[in-house]
Amino acid sequence: MTRGRQKRARREGGPAAAKIAAARRRELKLNAMTDETRSKHESIQAGVPVPAGRDGDGARAALLAEAERRLELAAGRDAARGLRRVVNATGVVLHTNLGRAPLSEAARVAVAREAAGYCTLEYDLETGGRGRRGARVEELLAELTGAESALVVNNCAAAALLTLSALASGGEAVVSRGELVEIGGDFRVPDVMSQSGVAMVEVGTTNRTKLSDYERAITGETRMILRVHPSNYRIVGFTAAPGLGELADLAHDRGLPLFEDAGSGALCDLSPYGLTDEPVISESIARGADVVAFSGDKLLGGPQAGLVVGRREFVEVLRRHPLYRALRADKLALAALEATLEAYRRGAALAEVPTRRMLAATSGEVEARARAFLSRVEGCRAPQSLRGQIITGESAVGGGSAPDVHPRTALVALTHESLSPGELGKALRFSATPVIARVADGRVLLDLRTVAENEEAELLRVLTSLPG
Ligand SMILES: *Cc1c(COP(=O)(O)O)cnc(C)c1O
């Protein structure tokens, strides 16, 4: 090992780490070289002329340069397979493929500064002994929803699995036929129920379910009434379903808990922004739901997490269940969640939580940003090859929430003289910070609703460095 290599090894975690890193680089290089040799072989066999210089050395240099170029490309492709930060210019606020909610500044700082190293995850500074994981987050959740108690697990699917397993395993749960949801990524209510050891008792019809349907289905085997929010679809027309309060009264009358899987679930009323059909968690609690589960990274705008709130006696059963140990949230998620909930508690969610701001932005506000941005692009580059125009369009909430809400927006519509819309879209994806845009109607469409203001300079650099 050379002196420099030894120094670096010490810095990066000892000789073992250095050995692994070196082996990894060697493996990458070897793979790329093998690929390159194979492809050269194939082209020679196929009769593709080998680039020739004036002499043998020229041909060799050309070959080596080509091999080097391809090696760089292969290394770039390898890097692109890892987890990368991207600019989301799609206008889909909770883009599941792009990691749903972007975190607030405070949440990012909390993850990096408080939780990344050692932290008080399960430590009580006052007693110097063991503390309860997530204690502060649970307090905040209870306060913000009016619930007695709260618990945090890995995601909402885990929250549903845990609640069903802990409260209804070995018995029956009654659920409307209109609520047998499938969420993307294979969360299907009937499958989660059977996995939890709960017999599903379907009542009513797809479009109409009455309170008496539930009433008639309750037997000695019934352990709970289940209400599921049909997050990603709507049944419209001739429809009926009992209110949550009526269901709660029936459940309590028969000594049963009412469990609501609220899916997105908003911490405050989002109807001013057109989201009229999303359950507000505090209202579910006020109407008598005993346990409510919802996601941390959908409308709440925090990290991936499954949040359970409700009556203490039930939440404690969940906490003591062996599945909780397998499904609990990690320190990074808890830190980000705590910071996000603190913003709600200070009444600062609209100002600080990015998804809240994105959902609240009017089309006029997005248009003003789009126009200013386009004129900056035009100021930075001669517009011969890249042409832009502002057009109206629609954003989307995404994340399986509010499928019928399409906020009006303004789009920067781009065309390029020598790149097709597909090629332009690809060039944006391959820029230093990948930019993800929509390609539609022969244009590349940028929706600044989902682009943070401090990402605009970066987006501008990407557009100005396009070829042509
Ligand atoms: C989204 C959703 C889930 C799954 O939530 P994750 O946090 O993605 O696990 C479960 N139930 C409903 C009703 C949902 O909308």
In Å, how far are 179, 376, 409 from 189, measured between CA atoms? 8, 49, 34
Q: Which residue's structure tokens are 């019934």?
A: 222
Residue 397 sits in the same domain as residue 280 = no
More confident residue, 279 or 27: 279
Q: Which token pair is 224?
A: 């709970």
Give the residue whose CA is nearest to atom 1 of ligand 1.
263
Please tell me the residue having the least CA distance from ligand 1 atom 12: 263
Predicted confidence at residue 68, as pLDDT, reads 76
Whether residue 422 sits in one domain with residue 450: yes
Q: What are the C-alpha distances in Å from 361 to residues 116, 397, 465?
A: 33, 12, 29
Ligand 1 touching residue 226 (CB < 6 A): no
* pLDDT tens string 247-276: 999 999 999 999 999 999 899 999 999 999
Of residues 267, 273, 426, 447, the one with CA closest to residue 374: 447
Measured from the CA of 401, which atom of ligand 1 is nearest?
A: 15
The CA 147 to ligand 1 mean position distance, Å, reads 20
Considering the domain architecture, whether residues 232 and 326 belong to the same structural domain is answered as yes
Q: Which residues are registered as beta bridge partners of 175?
A: 202
34: pLDDT confidence band, cut at 50, 70 and 90?
Answer: low
Q: Report how far residue 226's alpha carbon sits from residue 158's, in angstroms, rounded to the nearest whole number.
A: 16
DSSP 129-163: EE--TTHHHHHHHHHHHT-SEEEEESSHHHHHHHH
How much is the average pLDDT of 227-248? 95
* Ligand 1, atom nearest to 189 Cα: 11
Residues 275-283: contacts with CB within 8 Å, 24+ apart?
Answer: 275/299, 275/359, 275/397, 275/401, 275/402, 275/405, 277/234, 277/402, 277/404, 278/229, 278/401, 278/402, 279/229, 281/144, 281/145, 281/309, 282/144, 282/145, 282/146
pTM, entire model: 0.86
The pair of structure tokens assigned to 340 is 């996000």
Count of domains for the chain: 3
Q: What is the token pair recorded at 328?
A: 């609990």
Indicate if the pLDDT at residue 26 is higher than 90.
Answer: no
Least confident of 5-9, 81-85, 149-153, 446-450: 5-9
Q: Is residue 343 in contact with ligand 1, taking CB distance under 6 Å?
A: no
The last residue of one of the domains, among 321, 352, 383, is 352
**114 and 176 together in one domain:** yes
Q: What is the pLDDT of residues 307-327, one digit of tens each?
A: 999 999 999 999 999 999 999
CB 324 within 8 A of CB 105: no
Same domain, 283 and 431: no
**Res 274: pLDDT:** 93
Give pLDDT, residue 53.
Answer: 47
Per-residue pLDDT tens digits for 179-213: 999 987 789 999 999 999 999 999 999 999 999 99
3-state secondary structure (DSSP) of residue 123: strand
Asked if 169 and 274 sit in the same domain, the reply is yes
Does the beta carbon of 401 lie inside 6 Å of ligand 1? no
Mean pLDDT of all residues in the chain? 90
Cβ of residue 159 lying under 6 Å from some atom of ligand 1: no
Residues 109 and 93 both lie in one domain: no
Domain endpoint, select from 352, 386, 421: 352
**Which pLDDT score is estimated for 351?**
97
CATH number for the domain spanning 434: value is 3.90.1150.180
- Give residue 264 CA to ligand 1 midpoint distance, Å: 7
Mark whether 144 and 271 lie in a shared domain: yes
The last residue of a domain, from among 323, 352, 381: 352
pLDDT of the residue at 1: 44
pLDDT at residue 254 in the model = 98
Residue 155 Cβ < 6 Å to ligand 1: yes
369 and 334 co-located in one domain = no
Residue range(s) defining the domain that contains residue 449 = 87-98+358-464
Output the six-digit token pair for 179.
């609520």
Check whether residue 183 and residue 69 sit in a common domain.
no
Side chain identity, residue 35? D
How far, in Å, from the CA of 185 to the mean position of ligand 1? 10
148, pLDDT greater than 50: yes
CA distance 317 to 331: 22
**Domain shared by 41 and 69, yes or no:** yes
Residue 353 pLDDT > 80: yes
Query: How many Å lie between the centroid of ligand 1 and the Cα of residue 183?
Result: 6
Would you state the pLDDT for residue 81?
81
Q: Are residues 134 and 38 in the same domain?
A: no
